[in-house]
Amino acid sequence: NDGSPVREGTPPRVAGGDAGGVIRLQPAPTAAAGAWGGAYFGVAAYGTHVNVLSVDEAGNKHVWIAKRAMDKPTYPGLLDQCVAGGQPQGLSLQENVAKECVEEANIPEDVARTAVPVGAVRYMYETRKGLSPKTLFCYDLVVPHSFEPVNTDGEVESFQRMPLTEAVQAVAQDPKAWKPNSALVMIDLAVRHGVLNPDAHPDYLDIASLLHTAPA
């Protein structure tokens, strides 16, 4: 579910009084520009992406990859995280993660709520309407290796489980097969889990820093 992301002129903040420091996105007056006007004014959009991982008996890490439905209005047929969507108003990030896990991959809610926040990917890209700054809050969710996701909202054509090293190689070999921001989240996952390392990649520092640099 791509959802209707909150677009605003101020970054998310920790809402006072929420147990556990729940991050809530606070609408700013610029939100009145409307969902389709955000890119014209450079106001921010937010989303959540969940890396659904499993570990086999030999200790090898695997990641579930979704292929977007061909009738999706945006990026049809491209590869994506198993669970991803825009951040709507009225839900905390963790609440939205649980909702998207149930809707997109039929992950039980009690399992979905064990997803761990692991950081954020920030970027800006050019659209026909202007520049759009975006922040993707990233989560890792470990499921049993026997688990198989099932799409329930019609937005995913298929799922495939891949060894993490092969999934990262797939991004490098054919980046156009991936939804662009989902490729960034995969690269971030590769850095965090040591698939990319500074000894083997001379651009390691640039990669690691640019993924988390706020758009100017």
Looking at residue 19, what is its pLDDT? 33
Measured CA to CA, the distance from residue 158 to residue 147 in angstroms comes to 15
- The tokens describing 40, both together, are 């014209």
Looking at residue 215, what is its pLDDT? 63
Looking at residue 15, what is its pLDDT? 32
* pTM greater than 0.85 (yes/no): no
| Structural contact between residues 118 and 140, judged by C-beta atoms closer than 8 angstroms | yes
Looking at residue 11, what is its pLDDT? 36
Measured CA to CA, the distance from residue 63 to residue 171 in angstroms comes to 13
Beta bridge partners of 68: 156
Measured CA to CA, the distance from residue 65 to residue 160 in angstroms comes to 5
Q: Measuring CA to CA, which residue among 35, 42, 67, 52 is closest to residue 179? A: 67
What are the per-10-residue average pLDDT scores of the chain (216 residues)? Answer: 40 33 37 43 82 97 97 95 93 95 95 96 81 91 96 93 96 95 96 91 89 75
